[in-house]
Amino acid sequence: MMNNILGIVNYDDASVKVQGLDNYRPIPSLSFLARYRLIDFAISNMTNSGIRHIQVYVKHKPRSVIEHLGSGRQYNINSKQGKLRILTGEEATQSEAYNHDITAFLQNMRFIEDAKQEYVMIMPSHMIYTVNLEEVYNHHLESKVDVTVLYKTVNNAHESFIGVDTLKLSDKKQVEEIEVNRGKYKNRHVSLAAYMMSKELFIHLIHLADNISSFYTLRDVLQEQAPLLNMVGYPVKGYVACINSLDEYYRVNMELTDYDMGKQLFNPDWPIHTRTSDSCPTQYTPDAKVKKSVIANGCYIEGTVINSVLGRGVVVKQGAIIENSIVLEGAVIGENVHVKRVVVDKSAQISKVKELVAEENKVLYVKRQDRV
């Protein structure tokens, strides 16, 4: 049954800007919680649900996404029964305003039209949650609607999910209006920018958006057509986060260092698949102290790590203290260095400056391969 669905991992929209980190890699391949990439959640939701034909659209710098996804074997995509295809814009665009999802869909239309599946499931990579898409598909067929849109009812919309679409729903969960969250209200139905619809309607919306405006995205055309379409919301339960800024990237990683909070997202019966890396276990010296942290393989820790996330191969030298920070793969925190509320990018070295402490409610970013 799920073989009738084409999975599409869509571009992240213009509201997604993870300052600093996205200078070196696209949003889908951002490191998350030491071992994952953001795109792992969307693809795992698809493959765990039985979707085996997936297209991934990458806006910029596709190398890291291509390397991470490979043939898709880590997501249990069998090349004889399924297909993982990574697609980018085929033609150069005159400006960034033209580089959006509708442009990419049009330039790769033959791959969409040639797909044998009758339905599409479209999801971005910057939304973090788990959902059984087979249940969404069954609901979509039973309700006989045009579009099913996934949403989460939240009580922190004044602080998080800024710039994300919110839904005005009727008593029957009919989408009456779509508007952007400006942070004015706490309680909102937040759209997860995940849509199920027929492939025929999807293709129609692509051409409609192109005819209306060269700057229109899928989000824009759905927002405009909402009153005319039979669009119904489908609530997602459990933990949901939106990684659309450096502050939210930091907050969500820190939040999930809490074991009880992590259990709301990670379920042994619904694994989040990722590309594995063969490396030795992390080594802790007798002086090492680690508390309430997520530590990847291959690290060497002589100092203190508290409430932090360390990627693969991070070195924490004697006397160093890491608090409430995210340190990405291969970074080195030198002797007697104290970092707090800092995001340290890949392969950076902090040794000369002994105190890197961000102001309260602020996050300090250290560039990739920088020497501080």
Q: What is the pLDDT of residues 271-296, one digit of tens each?
A: 999 998 888 999 999 999 999 999 99
Residues 6+ apart with CB under 8 A from 148: 136, 139, 140, 195, 196, 197, 231, 232, 233, 234
Arithmetic mean of pLDDT, 101-118: 94
pLDDT band at 364 (very low <50, low <70, confident <90, very high): very high
Is this model's pTM higher than 0.75 or not?
A: yes
As a whole number, the mean pLDDT across the chain is 93
pLDDT band at 148 (very low <50, low <70, confident <90, very high): very high
The predicted structure's pLDDT at residue 88:
83
Mean pLDDT, to the nearest integer, of 88-111?
A: 82
The mean pLDDT of 317-321, rounded to a whole number, is 98
Confidence of residue 355 (pLDDT cuts 50, 70, 90): very high
The answer on pLDDT for 256 being more than 70 is: yes
What is the reported pLDDT for 80? 72
What SS3 state is found at 276? coil
Question: Among residues of the chain, what percentage have pLDDT more than 90?
Answer: 86
Report, as an integer, the average pLDDT of 48-64. 92
Quickly state the pLDDT bin for 336 (edges 50, 70, 90): very high
The answer to whether residue 115 scores a pLDDT higher than 80 is yes
Residue 14 pLDDT level (bands cut at 50, 70, 90): confident
For the cut 80, the answer to whether the pLDDT of residue 96 exceeds it is: no
**Which one is predicted more confidently, 292 or 60?**
292
Helix, strand, or coil here: 256?
coil
Strand partners, 344: 327, 366
Distance CA 238, CA 263 (A): 10
Region 207-225: mean pLDDT is 94
Q: What is the DSSP letter of 96?
A: G
Specify burial of residue 94 (Cβ count, 10 A radius: 0-12, 13-18, 19+). exposed
pLDDT number for residue 82: 85
Find the length of the chain. 372
Q: Could you tell me the strand order of the sheet in which 294-295 lies?
A: 294-295, 309-310, 326-327, 342-344, 364-366
Q: How high is the pLDDT of residue 191?
A: 96
pLDDT digits (tens, 9 = 90+) for 76-95: 887 677 899 999 876 666 67
